[in-house]
Amino acid sequence: MHIPDGYLSPSTCAATFAMAAPFWYVASRKVKAQLHTKLVPLMAVVSAFSFVVMMFNLPLPGGTTGHAVGLAVAAIVLGPWAAVLSISIALLIQAVFFGDGGITAIGANCFNMAIVGPFVAYAVYQVIAGRSALTSVRRVVAAGVAGYVGINMAALIAAIAFGLQPMLFHDTTGAPLYAPYPLSIAVPAMMIGHLTIAGIAEAVAAAGLVAVLQRYEPELLDLTASRHVAERGWGQTRGLWFGLGLFMLLSPLGLLAAGTAWGEWGAEDFADPAVRQEIAAASGNVAPPAAVPAGLERLSGVWSAPIPDYAPAFLKDERLGYILSAVMGSGLVLLVFVGFGALRDRRSQSA
């Protein structure tokens, strides 16, 4: 996958540099905003890891071996933008210091392996992993598929770049000046190797590494699993939701209560002899005022409750009225907090 010098024309190399440059710029901005002073040390050690991990040869099913680029792993653990930077740095050092990949082809290699591969892998991982728990098998499968698709997309872009060369660049005798095979040969030739050995190596590396991290360091998978709302929202609060539902169903128990709720009297209660007796009983046998207090009378008309006494007018059954009131009341409270949460998220994103 590391394209050496001489396979791509200088104009192709320049074009791939130009295509990669905006990604490098945005990646550096985003990662710096995320990491602040940690940018330099963390990117340095992660880039070093990206370099070293390419030296690990993995045994593959079928008896062969292959080494992975680690593009899916980097995207899953660090996110796609940090993966862009770390893999690009690793590729740059590989090209300049170790001669693996051409210096003029650094832009093409970075575009394929540090940009297309990680972004595709990240998208596939997120789609398949969805809102599953950090330790679910689904994430292992998602990582494997992400690695496989990511490396093959990177290979496809490289193959297309190869295949375009003989169409565009010839010498005076008609001989191709760079990669000599047209798209009809370059694409299948490149893809056969990647759909089989290299793709499986990347899939094994990504799936296996996610499985290892799930077992030993699951928190490392947390950064890009921001969408595991299910685990935070449902998995951890499942008991609370069940409890809330149970209390709603039990809310008609309030009908069994005798007496009156002290202080929760309406203006009309002062004119009802039975209620006056209850008020007196609840107040240490102190008789309530003969007339409705002036302030209470004045303010009682300000607001009319839509469901007075938890009994909607359209429901004959008091118990159903209580349950419906509980559902509506809880729902309104939840809506208010969801609204506040969304407002807070929007503010934190814009900050």
Question: Which residues from 85-104 bind another protein, rule CB under 8 A?
Answer: 85, 89-90, 92-93, 95-99, 102-104
From 120, 198, 205, 279, residue interacting with another protein (rule: CB under 8 A): 205
Q: Could you tell me which residues come within 8 angstroms of residue 69 by beta carbon, excluding any fewer than 6 positions away?
A: 1, 54, 87, 113, 117, 151, 154, 202
From 130, 176, 218, 293, residue interacting with another protein (rule: CB under 8 A): 176
* Minimum distance, C-beta of residue 114 to another protein, in the bound complex (Å): 14
Phi, psi torsion values for 231, nearest 5 degrees: -70, -40
Q: According to the binding rule CB under 8 A, does residue 18 interact with another protein? A: no
The residue (of 143 and 324) whose beta carbon lies closer to another protein is: 143
The residue (of 97 and 314) whose beta carbon lies closer to another protein is: 97
CA–CA separation, 138 and 133 (whole Å): 8
* Minimum distance, C-beta of residue 67 to another protein, in the bound complex (Å): 9
The residue (of 4 and 130) whose beta carbon lies closer to another protein is: 4
CA–CA separation, 346 and 34 (whole Å): 17
From 48, 128, 195, 327, residue interacting with another protein (rule: CB under 8 A): 48
The residue (of 57 and 226) whose beta carbon lies closer to another protein is: 57
For 62-91, b/e burial (b = at least 16 CB within 10 A) is eeeebbbbbbbbbbbbbbbbbbbbbbbbbb
Q: According to the binding rule CB under 8 A, does residue 220 interact with another protein? A: yes
269-275 long-range contacts (CB < 8 A, ≥24 apart) are: none
* Minimum distance, C-beta of residue 44 to another protein, in the bound complex (Å): 3
Pick the closest to residue 121 from 141, 139, 140, 148 (CA basis). 148
Q: According to the binding rule CB under 8 A, does residue 191 interact with another protein? A: no
* Minimum distance, C-beta of residue 209 to another protein, in the bound complex (Å): 5
Q: According to the binding rule CB under 8 A, does residue 248 interact with another protein? A: no
Give the angle subtended at the CA of 328 by the CAs of 323 and 331, to the nearest 5°.
125
Q: According to the binding rule CB under 8 A, does residue 61 interact with another protein? A: yes
Alpha-carbon distance values, 351 to 34, 71, 347, 348 (Å): 12, 30, 6, 5
Q: According to the binding rule CB under 8 A, does residue 192 interact with another protein? A: no
- The residue to which tokens 């098998």 are assigned: 137
251: which DSSP letter?
G
Q: According to the binding rule CB under 8 A, does residue 22 interact with another protein? A: no
Phi, psi torsion values for 170, nearest 5 degrees: -130, 160
Question: Which residues from 279-318 bind another protein, rule CB under 8 A?
Answer: none
Q: According to the binding rule CB under 8 A, does residue 81 interact with another protein? A: no
Pick the closest to residue 283 from 294, 269, 297 (CA basis). 269
- Which range binds another protein by CB under 8 A, 110-118, 137-145, 206-214, 264-272? 206-214
Token duo for residue 112? 């394929």
- Which range binds another protein by CB under 8 A, 9-17, 110-118, 137-145, 264-272? 9-17
* Minimum distance, C-beta of residue 130 to another protein, in the bound complex (Å): 23
Q: According to the binding rule CB under 8 A, does residue 135 interact with another protein? A: no
Amino acid at 201: A
The residue (of 224 and 251) whose beta carbon lies closer to another protein is: 224
Pick the closest to residue 288 from 303, 304, 275, 305 (CA basis). 275
Q: According to the binding rule CB under 8 A, does residue 15 interact with another protein? A: no
